Chains A and B, each alone.
Chain A
Amino acid sequence: MMRSLWTGASGMSGQQFNIDTIANNLSNVNTTGFKRNRADFQDLIYQTKRIAGTPATEETLVPVGTQVGSGVKVAGTQKIFTQGSLENTGNAGDLGIVGEGFFRVMRYDGSYAYTRDGAFKIDADGQLVTDDGYRVMPEIILPEGFLHESLNVTKDGRVFVELPGIDDPLEVGQIELYRFTNPAGLQAIGDNLFIDNAASGEPIAAQPGFDGMGHLEHKFIETSNVDVVQEMVDMIVAQRAYEMNSKTIQTSDAMLGIAANLKR
């Protein structure tokens, strides 16, 4: 049958994927520490109908080949790790990263995951945990009976609390940040978490504010880096591209109808 039918279909499904990505970005416009995705496209394989250099006569060669492409495919989605803006919350558990790096948390199965979402809470054991109860690693254990308002995290990640009756603040732990050679290769697993893999490289740990890490801002959270205007423009492009590809399918259909009408 007509190749253009499938070519148009590949264009439509590609744009559908594009819209899926944009929709996910827009729905996470208010998600703490969310990094937007970008869908990248590549052309599909080409069918060569005639190879360039085929002898045309005894002395001459066919100078150009005849190639026809078969549509488009999704090459991949890429996370764009640009800085989101920081929002002051006044909440003692909130930490925002200014610059590079991820917090590390331990998941329910004991494996590590990484996140930019620093909206931490304090659980019943006095530990710093995420919204899902995953512990921040290395562990930060707050002593029993500490004054809640006194929790303070410095820019370089040292955690201080005050205990009733003691004048000097007590240092209870050190928050570390982790970086990857290729953060775009990290795998997003939902819940604002990422896990490392072969593409991202091994995690590299350091104290916030040193060795290329960003510093922490206490009582701030990082908002998502989704740019609504850009997403809207991308959505217009995707919708129109979808529409045009549907027209190729319609045209192919009309032409097949014409061909079928040859025989009366």
Chain B
Amino acid sequence: MVRGWYTGASGMRAQEHRLDALSNNLANADTTGYKRDVSVHKAFPELMLRRFSDDGVKRVPLRMDPIGQIDTAPVVGRLGTGVEQNESYTVFEQGSVKETENPFDLALDGEGFFVVNTPYGERLTRNGGFMLGPEGIVVTQEGYPVMGEEGMIRVRENNFKIDEDGRVFENRALPEDRLISMTENRWEDSQEIDRLRIVNVRRPRHLEKQGSSLIRDTWESGEPQILEDNERPKVLQGFLETSNVNPVTEMVEMIQVNRAYEANQRVIQTHDDLTGRLINDTMRL
């Protein structure tokens, strides 16, 4: 019926989508390794408006076409029909790192992901809050093994070190059949046992979040590739990456959403008023 109603409604719905993304960001403001989502909108298809029942205007200047052509439906301009949500875009910006002094906490400084082995296949994560599983394997909070380049990483408490390149070292001089105390390890014979598998995909924009801090690669994003040299992010042992949600921008955006929603409501009400006038006032019998 009245086009403005639907345009206004599309605006209101789009703002609701934005609030969904914002509220999820704020709920995860304190989640390790969380990356914020931004809701991106696009305009609905625009309409080309033409004026019909016109006397006609000349389509081309007379000197180029001496006979002259008459356009009986000249173009007035374009008309937008509203807005819709296009995508939710994950911003893989670096979050700040905080020190925890727990040797199983790892943070990545730079672009890239840890690989964890879930029953549904390998997944990527930025959440480096790992722990030691009962079998001595480094696992996530949910018990999924963290992958090195040669498989699962088997370490012993107080006998492993991870350098900035992600290489895992252990001291081979210590006896293998017992646990190690923090003070006795002198690192006489430090040997590399594995290197953390740190990967990235060609188009991180197309990665799919799965919840539980897990991220899945998709056909569009490309296969995860192990990062080398300059591309490889620094691994910080004893640190955690905080979420990259900025509360200030989120709050400002929330005000924006609220007001934009209100403005769109006004649009609908104004159209409603006008239609009401048309129905009730113009035709007064």
Contacts and interface: CB of A to CB of B under 8 A. Distances in A.
B131 interface: yes
Interface residues of A, number: 73
Contacts of B69: none
Contacts of A70: 24
A67 B88 contact: yes
Q: Is the interface of B mostly helix, strand, loop or mixed?
A: mixed
A65 B16 CA distance: 18
B284 interface: no
Contacts of B22: 4, 248
Interface in B67-100: 85-89
A213 to B, nearest CB: 6
B182 A99 contact: yes
Contacts, number: 219
A184 B158 CA distance: 14
B211 A11 contact: no
B265 A259 contact: yes
A7 B265 contact: no
B15 interface: yes
Contact of B129 (A14, A40, A248): A40
Interface of A: 2-4, 7-8, 10-11, 14-15, 18, 40-46, 48-49, 52-53, 61, 63-73, 75-76, 78, 80, 82, 99-100, 179, 181-185, 198-201, 204, 206, 211-214, 237-238, 240-241, 244-245, 247-248, 251-252, 254-255, 258-259, 261-262, 264
8 contacts: A11-B28, A49-B85, A66-B86, A67-B37, A69-B24, A100-B182, A184-B132, A214-B181
Interface of B: 12, 15-17, 19-24, 26-32, 34, 37, 85-89, 101-102, 127, 129, 131-136, 141-142, 156-158, 178-184, 205-206, 208-213, 218-220, 247, 250-251, 254, 257-258, 261-262, 265, 268-269, 272
